[in-house]
Amino acid sequence: MADINKPLIVQSDRTMLLEVDNEAFEECRGLLSRFAELEKSPEYLHTYKITPLSLWNAASSKMTAEEIIEGMEKFSKYPIPRNVISEIKEQISRYGKVKLMKDETGNLFIVSDERNFLNEIANHRAVQEFIESRDGDRIVVKKDFRGHIKQALIKIGFPIEDLAGYDEGAEYSFNFRPLMIGSGSAFSLRDYQRQSIDAFHAGGSREGGSGVVVLPCGAGKTIVGLGVMQLVGAQTLILVTNTLSIRQWKNELRDKSDIPEEDIGEYSGEKKEIRPITIATYNIITHRKKKGGDFTHFNIFSVNNWGLIIYDEVHLLPAPVFRMTSELQAKRRLGLTATLVREDGLEEDVFSLIGPKKYDVPWKDLEKRAWIADARCIEVRVEMDEDLRTRYSVADDREKYRLASENPAKKEAIETILDEHNRQNILIIGQYINQLEDLADHFRFPLITGKTPLPEREKLYQGFRTGEIPCLIVSKVANFSIDLPDAQVAIQVSGTFGSRQEEAQRLGRVLRPKAGANMAYFYSLVSRDTTEERFGQNRQLFLTEQGYEYQIYTFDQLQEMRGKVLESIHAR
């Protein structure tokens, strides 16, 4: 029997339609985000999709099929299709049905209560090269292929639960600095940070020790990494996106713990230090002297007896590091990220090689508690002039996107936004260097790109933090872990096609909590009626799932409200 007051419609193709304008919307969205993926988010009706991977992640977080089905029934207008109920039960049951174990002699083997599963696995061509033998009710796996078989099995629908345990690694213990009132180093773990650490570690059991913690930018993922390191108590290798991230991790380690500076090593293009705590860049790990050659620095994984490997910004993990990680399954592995979304569809590899999602917290929950800033997202649609529109109409698809992205009319929109925010604490972020150089010349703001020397980059960041530099223009380097705690406004002038991942990272640049009203603003400038506008709708999907609403203005509307833009944003 239908209940038209409920917000959810579950369809037989495993999609779900959620009404935004319903008093149960927030509660229902919180439930769906735990076991389904957001696909579309127009203003009034959001579309979610139930997938095997979304259900396996739910199962790894101890969510049961009954809990999922009961939650759907609570919010669904109509009875849930039987095939959807069957799919949920089937996929949830699959996680943990097949287990990877290790015996006292060190042999790896697959076991399952379902003999048919073992028969299917043993006879599947995709996994046979990793199998040593069939021994009764278990399949013996070749010792060096623990990661490879996990990758292969998930691709054929068997999300294996790895209970083979971990090498303890060389011991290394340290303590957090004590909480001192009035001290610049005052520090204590927030409740969600402690919960994520405990969820990953699982009391040191075989179920803990590999997985991903998902927290928004500015919520203290580095602190979570530090907490895991302290709990594991072993020498640790930390992999990061760039050299600046190395310095930031090092500063956090020194500020929040009693780890001496001489025990922290940097392994990058500039330095090659191996210490009990070593921080290395993905770039140096994937360096090769010639295409197709050996990885020059692969030995960093074996030169120390690491007990823990941390993958910062794990959603950006390069394919070669995936391959390397497949051979590191005996090490505890922690992935840290703001979003598990990957545009290349390799979320399954993150699941199988790093581990399942162990902890996730809605961004809006942290915003309500003032752990991150209250962010307003605004899309401004800018017209093209007649000449540019003519060029756009005859260009190929890739050129169309670039022409729309580099629309010179965006300068006027930037000018209006700068004036509204008194030209203070503002980042202008873009994809195309020519466009950014043009904006730097026009507005006389400093520009940071990947070619900016590290000392100059650090100097500019420091000037921005102190207020000496009120506005910065940054390229794709802003997509990564840069610490700009005082950035209050971000203006996105161009981006990487429809990258949801990039959208989340860029909003994260302004999410750190702020004194006073704790407000942040994220503007996206797009050319109206172009491919850029369409790609923009895809970019916004992840943040819409997190509860953010994009307010949309034309440039003419922005101009009409000049001097009252912020008032209008807050009124809505």
User: Looking at this protein, which amino acid is placed at residue 290?
Assistant: K
**pLDDT number for residue 182:** 42
- Asked if residues 521 and 422 have their Cβ atoms less than 8 Å apart, the reply is no
Range scoring the smallest mean pLDDT among 114-128, 180-194, 246-260: 180-194
Got the DSSP string for 289-326?
A: SSTTS-BTTTTHHHHS--SEEEEETGGG--HHHHHHHT
Query: Where on the phi/psi map is residue 292: left (φ > 0), alpha (ψ -120 to 50), or beta?
Result: left
- Per-residue pLDDT band for 442 (boundaries 50, 70, 90) equals very high
Residue where the block lists tokens 């669904």: 76
Tell which wins on pLDDT, 314 or 80. Answer: 80
Model confidence pLDDT, tens digit, residues 84-126: 999 999 999 989 889 999 888 888 999 998 888 899 998 899 9
Helix (H, G, I), strand (E, B) or coil at 100: strand
- Asked if residues 318 and 241 have their Cβ atoms less than 8 Å apart, the reply is no
> 336, 331, 238: which is closest to 281 by C-alpha?
238
d(CA 357, CA 409) in angstroms, rounded, equals 43
**pLDDT number for residue 181:** 41
> Average pLDDT in the 470-488 region?
75
Q: How many residues does the chain have?
A: 572
- Asked if residues 533 and 381 have their Cβ atoms less than 8 Å apart, the reply is yes
Helix (H, G, I), strand (E, B) or coil at 541: helix
Question: C-alpha distances in angstroms, 493 versus 162, 336, 522, 550, 559?
Answer: 44, 27, 11, 16, 18
Tell which wins on pLDDT, 263 or 322. Answer: 263
Got the DSSP string for 7-61?
A: -EEE-TTSEEEEESSSTTHHHHHHHHTTT-EEEE--SSEEEEE--HHHHHHHHHT
- Per-residue pLDDT band for 343 (boundaries 50, 70, 90) equals low
**What is the Cα 502 distance to its own chain's centre?**
9
Q: Which domains does the chain have, with CATH numbers?
A: 8-94 (no CATH), 98-162 (no CATH), 191-361 (3.40.50.300), 367-571 (3.40.50.300)
**pLDDT number for residue 64:** 95
> Per-residue pLDDT for 571 more than 80?
no
Q: How many CB atoms lie within 10 A of CB 493?
A: 25
**pLDDT number for residue 69:** 97
- Asked if residues 475 and 335 have their Cβ atoms less than 8 Å apart, the reply is no
Tokens, residue 129: 């090269």
Q: Count CA atoms closer than 13 A to 567's CA, side-chain side.
A: 5
Q: In sequence order, what are the residues at sequence separation of 6 or more whose Cβ sits closer than 8 angstroms to the Cβ of residue 451?
A: none
Question: C-alpha distances in angstroms, 571 versus 301, 344, 422, 552?
Answer: 54, 39, 20, 14
- Asked if residues 450 and 476 have their Cβ atoms less than 8 Å apart, the reply is yes
In the chain, the largest separation of any two C-alpha atoms, in whole Å, equals 77
> Per-residue pLDDT for 365 more than 50?
yes
Got the DSSP string for 216-284?
A: -TTS-HHHHHHHHHHHHTB-EEEEESSHHHHHHHHHHHHHHB---GGGEEEESSS-B---SEEEEEHHH
d(CA 523, CA 494) in angstroms, rounded, equals 11
